[in-house]
């Protein structure tokens, strides 16, 4: 079984500030980990994924995440927030990569202030 915990349902940052969205996972086997983003009135879009290769994963729009097995974490970061980053972000885990259901966290809504 697997589960995901996202700390903070809402995060506010100033434009240009560091973005840090937290995700901790629980998995009985080495996991595949993902961050998805949902902009208003759109579907979920894959930001980045960890599939047991490099522990530091770079994604789209300047986001990156680091897989830390000892901490069972996969936090999402971006050095400098932009207004266009305002959206809801979801961390997810799956047991395999080929065809497996995703288990999501509750989501974190990111607000970016001027």
Query: Does residue 56 touch other proteins according to CB under 8 A?
Result: no
Structure tokens given for 12: 């506010």
Q: Binding other proteins by CB under 8 A: which of 49, 74, 76, 81?
A: 49
Q: Binding other proteins by CB under 8 A: which of 14, 55, 106, 111?
A: 106
Question: Quick check: helix, strand or coil at residue 48?
Answer: strand
Query: Does residue 1 touch other proteins according to CB under 8 A?
Result: no
Q: CB-side exposure of 40: number of CA atoms within 13 Å?
A: 5
Q: CB-side exposure of 95: number of CA atoms within 13 Å?
A: 7
Answer yes or no: are the C-beta atoms of 59 and 45 closer than 8 Å.
no
User: In terms of CB distance, is 62 or 107 closer to other proteins?
Assistant: 107
What are the residues binding other proteins (CB under 8 A)? Answer: 4, 32, 36, 41-46, 49, 51, 53, 90, 92, 97-99, 101-107
């Amino acid at each position: 079984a697997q589960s995901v915990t996202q700390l903070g349902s809402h995060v506010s940052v100033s434009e240009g500030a560091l973005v840090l969205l937290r995700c901790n996972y629980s998995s009985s086997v080495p996991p595949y980990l993902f961050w998805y983003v949902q902009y208003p009135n759109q579907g979920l879009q894959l930001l980045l994924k960890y599939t047991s290769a490099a522990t530091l994963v770079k994604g789209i729009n300047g986001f990156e995440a680091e897989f830390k097995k000892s901490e069972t974490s996969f936090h999402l970061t971006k050095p400098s927030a932009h207004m266009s980053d305002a959206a809801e972000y979801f961390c997810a885990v799956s047991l395999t990569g080929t065809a497996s259901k995703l288990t999501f966290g509750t989501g974190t809504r990111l607000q970016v202030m001027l």
